[in-house]
Structure 1
Amino acid sequence: MAAISSSLQCLSSCDSHYPHHHHQRAQSESRWRLSSRDLVSSMMWKVSPFPGVDLKPSRRHLMCAAVKGGAAEGAFKKTVELDRMIDALKDANPRELEKLVVENILAFDEVFWIRLAARSDTCKSDDDKKDYEELAATVMTIVDCVVNKTREKIESSTDVLKGILRPVVEGVEEITWPPRDPDAINQMEKEIIQREKEGQLDEGFLSEVSAQLRQAKEDKDKPGLAAMLQKVLQLYAATILSKRSYAKKGNEVVKAEHLLETLIKAPEEQWNKLFLEGLTLGKGDVTPDELSAVIKKRIERTLIRTEGGSYQQRILIEYLKGIESRANEIIKLLKG
């Protein structure tokens, strides 16, 4: 709902009198208007090369017919859904129309515009056609506004990411990891903590970092960049997970929770040492089962306290599972 509210705020800055956008409407009409005659060729029946010959259908023919029948049924259902959407848009007042478009933004694809054009083409009066033309122009105006707002948000997230990476990349001709300046990562961490306090590390930012990371991994010739972006997500996860502490119950320290929270805050390079110092298999007081239990509990708490399917949830859970995976590796080695 927050995304919808944000988009509707964007829409309020657009001219609410959409029918008066004559120039834009003319451009929009040229983008979507089709004649039904343009679609006839795709529906022509093909004549059999053997007229008068009654061929018995083989199993393959029956299977093909079933597939075609299923495809036809799917296309019919799609058309019914599109007609319901178009009817809802036609009947909506301006505020309801904006909300409908924003909530169904991915529905306005090529198939939608073709169906809208077909509906317009079957109108018997010029007034009805005009209604469809104005509806098309209005929907396009809203869609363009939402797209522009999203683009601005992405650009803003990119600027935030650049600010976080500045201590590592500034004055460097080639990206290397780890950075030559050992204090650069500390500066990155300070940037992340400060920007998180200011509310800049939202879903848009996390989406941008995740997209950049996927691209860097796919390119395979930028391992330094991939490692750097991975570090950004790790520092973010550590910052968020460190906000809550479960290491104290009254005046007592829960040793397993304390060890986990130490691991969360520590750089990944120090994890092995912390496991050796904290586990009973090494020099510590925490059993492997106790550590496993608190990690699983923290994962459950994170799943409950974050939005399902969000980038934040995914990044925090991956970080905790990374600690869990490393713990299992160390425990296996220590057991021999």
Structure 2
Amino acid sequence: MLFGILGSQLKQINNTFNVLSQALDSRLICLDLINRRTLICAVNQDAEKSFKKTVEVDRLIDMLRDANANELQKLVVENVLAFNETFWIRLAARTDTCKSDDDKACTIILCLQKDYEELALSIMSIVDRLVHKTNEKIESATDVLKEILKPVVDEVEEISWPPRDPKALMLMEKEIIQREQEGKLDEGFLSEVNAQIRQAKEDGDKPGLEAMLQKVLQLYASRVLSKRSYAERGGEVLKTEQFLESVIRAPEEEWNRLLISGLTVGKGEVLPEEFYAVVKKRIERTLIRTEGGSYQQRVLTEYLKGIQSRAEGIVQLLQGKPQ
């Protein structure tokens, strides 16, 4: 059952949540070590590598210690992957080394110990909030995806693609438009859809689910890319740009017909080389306007590359060239 699959894979679809959870669990090590004042030394065969790692961790600890409240939160978020068991052990060791037999230094040492203990508690608190916030986002993304897929899932939640009811796709597209307007189709949502696609591919027995999720990404990309038009410049209509935008807006099932009707190798007026050029330009614009490495950037550029690949295939076919 589709929604059962989505629910059971919740923990598998977000590696970030797993990392955060591990960081949250490993904080207990720090509490225990600091409270017991036990210095733990690990002997590493690769001494140089171990030394460099220690230097990196010490540098991070120093930055965290010297940061104000706002800077600390930003640093924790940016370095969340670093808060593993090694980090907490090193922080505990730094706290433990704050000892001295010199009575004159006692006050300073106690202040340093207190600083490190407060730092550890502050980091733990921020990581804790990140874990809960990430968990909420995962659950929210799952709920949004369920609502989008609801029109194409039958009453017993069987996976059937294409949907038996032609109107189902229209309802799904309407749902995507509404959710996009509400700002619900964010990175968390795209991350989950991609994770579900990977899982479906690995399972190998849910081709209908994989196609369904791919359609979700196609509709999303079409919606986002259609928001901005480059078909007019100085009152002049740029036919090639206009043609590309008509393909972007169209369902993937209609691409062949549109490309054959619009390109000169078929029945149209647009040269293939000119079409490839505007697709390339649109990809460049997308790369500039989206965050590097984001799921949004990947989904939008893959959609445009899919259009170009389809056009190249049709051109080769109509020219009688082997594909």
TM-score band (shorter)? 0.7 to 0.9
Asked whether 1:258 is paired with 2:260, we answer no
What is the rounded CA distance, in whole Å, between the counterparts of 2:193 and 2:86 in structure 1?
Answer: 32
Deviations along 1:54-92, whole A, 9 cap, x unmatched? xxxxxxxxxxxxxx6xx4322211111111222232333
Name the SS of the counterpart of 2:139 in structure 1: helix
Which residue of structure 2 aligns with residue 282 of structure 1?
266
Judge conservation of contact 2:33–2:92 (CA < 8 Å) in 1.
Answer: no
**Residues 113-122 or 315-324, more deviating:** 113-122
CA root-mean-square deviation: 2.4
Q: How does 1:129-278 map to 2 (within 5 A)?
A: 129-249=113-233, 252-278=236-262
Asked whether 1:293 is paired with 2:295, we answer no
Which residue of structure 1 aligns with residue 62 of structure 2?
87
What is the rounded CA distance, in whole Å, between the counterparts of 1:271 and 1:120 in structure 2?
Answer: 64
Q: How does 1:88-103 map to 2 (within 5 A)?
A: 88-103=63-78
CA drift at 1:32: 7.1
What is the rounded CA distance, in whole Å, between the counterparts of 2:173 and 2:115 in structure 1?
Answer: 56
CA drift at 1:293: 1.4
Judge conservation of contact 2:231–2:241 (CA < 8 Å) in 1.
Answer: yes
CA drift at 1:37: 6.6
Which residue of structure 1 aligns with residue 96 of structure 2?
121
What is the rounded CA distance, in whole Å, between the counterparts of 2:35 and 2:153 in structure 1?
Answer: 50
Deviations along 1:105-143, whole A, 9 cap, x unmatched? 111111101111222332316835454333322211211
- Structure 2 counterpart of 1:217, one-letter code: K
Asked whether 1:30 is paired with 2:32, we answer yes
Task: Could you tell me which runs of 5 or more consecutive residues in structure 1 were left unpaired when the two chains were aligned.
Answer: 1-24, 44-67
Which residue of structure 2 aligns with residue 72 of structure 1?
47
Task: Could you tell me which runs of 5 or more consecutive residues in structure 2 were left unpaired when the two chains were aligned.
Answer: 1-26, 101-108
**Residues 169-178 or 131-140, more deviating:** 131-140
What is the rounded CA distance, in whole Å, between the counterparts of 2:233 and 2:40 in structure 1?
Answer: 73
Asked whether 1:106 is paired with 2:106, we answer no
Judge conservation of contact 2:30–2:92 (CA < 8 Å) in 1.
Answer: no
- Structure 2 counterpart of 1:266, one-letter code: A
The structure with more radius of gyration = 1
CA drift at 1:36: 5.7
What is the rounded CA distance, in whole Å, between the counterparts of 2:201 and 2:35 in structure 1?
Answer: 42
What is the rounded CA distance, in whole Å, between the counterparts of 1:26 and 1:229 in structure 2?
Answer: 39
**Residues 143-152 or 315-324, more deviating:** 143-152
**Residues 28-37 or 153-162, more deviating:** 28-37
- TM-score when scaled to structure 1? 0.77
Tell which has more relative contact order, 1 or 2 (C-alpha 8 A, sep 6+): 2
Number of matched residues?
A: 285
- Structure 1 counterpart of 2:61, one-letter code: I
CA drift at 1:228: 0.8
What is the rounded CA distance, in whole Å, between the counterparts of 1:205 and 1:109 in structure 2?
Answer: 27
CA drift at 1:178: 0.7
Asked whether 1:333 is paired with 2:308, we answer no
- TM-score when scaled to structure 2? 0.80
What is the rounded CA distance, in whole Å, between the counterparts of 1:80 and 1:303 in structure 2?
Answer: 36
Name the SS of the counterpart of 2:129 in structure 1: helix
Query: Percent same amino acid among aligned pairs?
Result: 67
